[in-house]
Amino acid sequence: MQTHEIRKRFLDHFVAAGHTEIPSASLVLDDPNLLFVNAGMVPFKPYFLGERTPESPRATSIQKCVRTLDIEEVGITTRHNTFFQMAGNFSFGDYFKREAIAFAWSLLTNPVADGGFGIDPTRLWPTVYLDDDEAEAIWRDEIGVPAERIQRRGMKDNYWSMGVPGPCGPCSEIFYDRGPEYGVEGGPEADEDRYIEIWNLVFMQNERGEGGTKDDYPILGPLPRPNIDTGMGIERVATILQGVDNVYETDLLKPVIDTAARLTGRAYGAGGEDGHAADVRFRVIADHARTAVMLISDEITPGNDGRGYVLRRLLRRIVRSARLLGADQPTMGDFVDTVIATMSPSYPVLAEKASSIRATAVAEEQAFLRTLADGSKLFDEAVTATRDAGSTVITGSKAFALHDTYGFPIDLTLEMAAEAGLSVDEQGFTDLMAEQRRRAQADAKGKKTGHAEESVYREFLDRGPTEFTGFDELVSDATVLGIVGGGLTRPVATVGDQVDIVLDRTPLYAESGGQMADIGTISTSAGARARVTDVQKVAKSVYRHVATVEAGEFVVGDVVLAAVDPQYRRGATQGHSGTHLVGAALRQVLGSGATQAGSLNRPGYLRFDFRAQGPLSDAQRAEVEDITNSAVESDHEVHTFETGLDEAKAMGAMALFGENYGDRVRVVEIGGPFSMELCGGTHVGSSAQVGPVTLLGESSVASGVRRVEAYVGLDSYRHLARERALLAAVSSTLKVPGEEVPDRVATLVERLRDAEKSLEKLKADAARASAASVLDDAERIGDTLVVAARLADGLSGGDLRALATDLRARLGSQAGIVALFSVTDGKVPFVVALTGAARDAGLSAGAIVGDVAPTVGGRGGGKPDLAQGSGTDPDGIATALARVRQAAG
């Protein structure tokens, strides 16, 4: 049975049993605690935590999941996958153990002709929690499983919680016996390789408290309404129903392995020690290719931190595995095409986004192939230097240089070092990366709303969403539903208090879809007034107005007047509508593949991220600006309307990045076919109201993602006025007409470059003359001639390197050390060069640099014959020179 059929049968089974089918959520949810969705129940957490009320008491879904903790184990074993599909059925206070067990058993064992999976019931072994007599009785007395095939297990295996205070409860797992060829008899307790878990039924019936370990925490008591959360592993069931040994041989992953075999000329499953290593690489390619395609389809792009880094790491492991298997040409496009062909029957969006997914993955492969070519040379040098120094540990600075200069991720350096029989000073690397990691942590902490905060708003969430009136008016009557301050609800707010005010209705726009929140006021007829500086959504439905009380007091239940700052709103609408115009212009110039990858707009300003594999040319940038302003001049009507999601897509409406849409969507149409997008933001009435649009610049923000920025309206005019005044000032200074300024500046720049080259030549000649005299002061220490000196200030490391190699050549065949130091802008560059005879005598330039660097407050490194570094303490140069002489002795 094909995997797509397994999915369909699962959903059909539970829909027929009264469950509402819920489409898979994105792999990325607005949850600060999760990098990716890692379990089928994650999208339903607000219901289990009591933060939101479900629309239906029964639900079923097949959720996309990614787990990345075991990336290094992928391929080494056949049990680990980064991407998997979790089929689930959920009850929110409706049915409980009896029905959940019956639903699972009937689907697994019913004949194929009746819609089931047709699994032999004698091969299924249920497990229950130690004291869950109720579940065991249902399995034994109602389902008919013999008592000897029901096993009780402890808290570690058969009790579930989220790891934090909240719902918890015992589990009942269903295992499939693969047969004696896979291990010993005795059920799951005896061998989980032979008996594999295919279904887990979680009976949420208790509430847990703080503290404790995974299998030891306080149980506070029963929940008022028990819930059901079950999960069936699609890939594991596919392994069973397709009669293969492991998931990599199923219909969704084996085709990728076959593609890898075709491209590399290697055979999967060939056996032998080398064959095992090859099989690991085949499995890495299959697993990571599928995961990468699914991540890119959810708008994740390769990057250097967070989710982007995980994707980059997966793609680079694919490239390197293919190279190690023997591929000498790019392979990523073929892997992506294979994944899309196998997965798109279940996920049609993959076929729709095929070109952009492929472009993103291929661009990362091309970039990494360059990284491998350049970085491998540096890595080989690091290996040689490490061995020459008699060490087995590559320094943290070498690992950092690989990362910082060539983009080598540390995990790749670790893998390559292990293959070379070496290790890496990971702590040293970590210390050098501290600043980058702090930035990543700061970004994670920047999330404005987490589950802990949402719990304060639970009562408001249960009342339903805030009514937004801002499309039709800037001032609205409203009622204060709640006041939140310091993480707690409060009955009143007085002058000076900074609080969140929850209203039943509001004209103030909450930040979303790239549009910044409105600012404005909330006031009462009694004279109370609060200044609103931000508006955010809780659980995408309740608006919280971040406000400071400036006069009077606000009490829950007050009737108030909520007002938007009209000037701010006008600028915001100009920025948002301008974003739509620029996006449409980019698609005209670059093609339909230039889809949105993010945006931000505020009064007078916009930025737009789009997918492209290279920068805009000057001509393209000018064309985008011209098309945008032509649309402004045409004064297109901005028309908004609501329709069904499928109807909107059929009309060609573009979906905005990062948005989740319901069955009814809002469409913003500017000039008919010119721009049509799904959008919940506020807009101008006609395109002329956007005012002039001036592109400020274009840059790269991630692999395959570019960014344009622009001013709109009065800010655009002011920018152009400043540019005009600047040109007039330069024209006046150069005493040429404005149109001749570029040519005159180019001439002056060329003359300046010539002067700099002449100056550099004079400086180099002087340095060589100075260095030549250094030979006269050379000292013979033992059998080694030492040339060690501080040269004139102002020489760079490159200058010193050229002089050192020149002096070394003059020493000929004798053993010699050349060590040169200089001081430039408070820094101390230095270089050590050794002749061949000195190296043969056991000396190493890298070791000498490592010894002298601390004396000048610096660090450095290099090869045995030439090494260099830089410090910050000129007073240590004399000590450094003395250490060079000691090294010769």
DSSP string for 374-443: HHHHHHHHHHHHHHHTT-SEE-HHHHHHHHHHH---HHHHHHHHHHTT-EE-HHHHHHHTHHHHHHHHHH
Pairing of strands 166-177, 542-551: unpaired
What local confidence, expressed as pLDDT, does residue 31 receive?
66
How far is CA 667 from each of CA 471, 506, 582, rounded to the nearest angstrom? 13, 21, 17
Higher-confidence residue of 723 and 251: namely: 251
Q: What's the pLDDT score for residue 687?
A: 95
Can you tell me the distance from the alpha carbon of 715 to that of 737, in angstroms, rounded to the nearest whole number? 27
* End-to-end Cα spacing for the chain: 77
CATH of the domain spanning 770-888, picked from 3.30.470.20, 3.10.310.40, 3.20.20.140, 3.30.70.580: 3.10.310.40
What is the rounded distance in angstroms from the CA atom of residue 564 to the CA atom of residue 532?
A: 9
Whether pLDDT at 751 is above 50: yes
Q: What is the pLDDT of residue 451?
A: 39
pLDDT greater than 80 at residue 122:
yes
The pLDDT confidence band at residue 442, using thresholds 50, 70 and 90, is very low
Query: Identity (one letter) of the amino acid at 714?
Result: L
Average pLDDT, whole number, for the chain? 89
More confident residue, 516 or 167: 516
Q: Is 683 annotated as a binding residue?
A: yes
Q: pLDDT-based confidence at 540, cuts 50/70/90?
A: confident
- pLDDT score at 445: 41
- Please state, in angstroms and as integers, the Cα–Cα distance from residue 189 to each residue in 125, 152, 185, following that order: 10, 9, 10
Phi-psi category of 71—alpha, beta or left, where left has phi over 0 and alpha has psi -120 to 50? alpha
Consult the annotation and say whether 576 binds a ligand: yes
Does the pLDDT value for residue 313 go beyond 60?
A: yes
pLDDT-derived band at 449, boundaries 50, 70, 90: very low
Pick from 132, 128, 126, 215: nearest CA to 174: 126
Question: What mean pLDDT is predicted for residues 833-849?
Answer: 93
**Using CA of residue 258, residue 260, residue 266, residue 270, what is the dihedral sign?**
negative
Residue 444 has pLDDT above 60, yes or no: no
- Options 1.20.1370.20, 2.40.50.140, 3.30.980.10, 3.40.50.970; CATH for 569-722 is 3.30.980.10
* 3-state secondary structure at position 248: helix
Please compute the mean of the pLDDT values over residues 419-448 and round it to a whole number.
Answer: 67
Closest of 769, 877, 882, 775 to residue 821, by C-alpha: 877
- Phi first, then psi: what are they for 221, rounded to 5°? 150, 180
- Pairing assessment for the beta strands 784-790 and 816-821 based on DSSP bridges: parallel
Contacts of 122 (CB under 8 A, 6+ apart): none
Most confidently modeled range among 300-309, 427-436, 866-875: 866-875
Say what the pLDDT of residue 76 is: 81
- The pLDDT tens digits of the residues spanning 394-416 come to 998 888 878 766 667 677 788 78
Sheet holding 664-670, edge to edge: 638-644, 664-670, 675-678
pLDDT digits (tens, 9 = 90+) for 50-97: 777 888 899 999 999 998 876 777 878 777 789 999 999 999 989 999
pTM beyond 0.85, yes or no: no
pLDDT score for 511: 93
pLDDT of residue 74: 83
According to the model, what pLDDT value does residue 405 have? 62
Q: How large is the average pLDDT for residues 210-232?
A: 85
pLDDT of 430 strictly over 90: no
- φ, ψ of residue 735 to 5 degrees: the values are 60, 45
Question: Can you read off the two tokens belonging to residue 422?
Answer: 């070496």
**Is residue 19 part of an annotated ligand binding site?**
no
Largest pairwise CA distance in the chain: 102
Among the CATH numbers 3.30.930.10, 3.30.460.20, 2.40.30.130, 3.10.620.30, which is that of 451-564? Answer: 2.40.30.130
Check residue 141 and report its DSSP letter. Answer: I
Whether the pLDDT of residue 657 is over 50: the answer is no
Report the alpha-carbon distance of residue 279 to residue 863 in Å, rounded: 37
Least confident of 129-138, 304-313, 543-552: 304-313
Q: Name the DSSP letter for residue 516.
A: P
pLDDT(649) > 90: no
Q: Categorize the per-residue pLDDT at 147 as very low, low, confident or very high, splitting at 50, 70 and 90.
A: very high
Residues 6+ apart with CB under 8 A from 479: 503, 504, 505, 557, 558, 559, 560
When pLDDT is cut at 50, 70 and 90, the band that residue 446 belongs to is very low
Confidence of residue 259 (pLDDT cuts 50, 70, 90): very high
Going by C-beta distance under 8 Å and a sequence separation of 6 or more, which residues neighbour residue 145?
Answer: 121, 124, 126, 139
Judged by DSSP in three states, 465 sits in coil
Residues 11-34: tens digit of each pLDDT? 999 999 999 999 998 998 766 667
> Which pLDDT score, from 0 to 100, does residue 205 have?
92
* Span 302-312, average pLDDT: 84
Confidence of residue 385 (pLDDT cuts 50, 70, 90): confident
pLDDT over 90, % of the chain: 59
Nearest to 469 by CA among 539, 545, 534, 564: 564
545 is in an annotated binding site: no
Q: pLDDT class for 658, splitting at 50, 70, 90?
A: very low
Bridge partners, residue 66, by sequence: 83
pLDDT at 509: 96
322: helix, strand or coil: helix
- Which of 795-830 are b and which e, b meaning 16 or more Cβ less than 10 Å from the residue's Cβ? bebebbbbbbeebbeebeeebbbbbbbbbbeebbbb
Tokens (6 digits) for 663: 């069955």
Q: Please name the fold of domain 3-248.
A: BirA Bifunctional Protein; domain 2 (3.30.930)
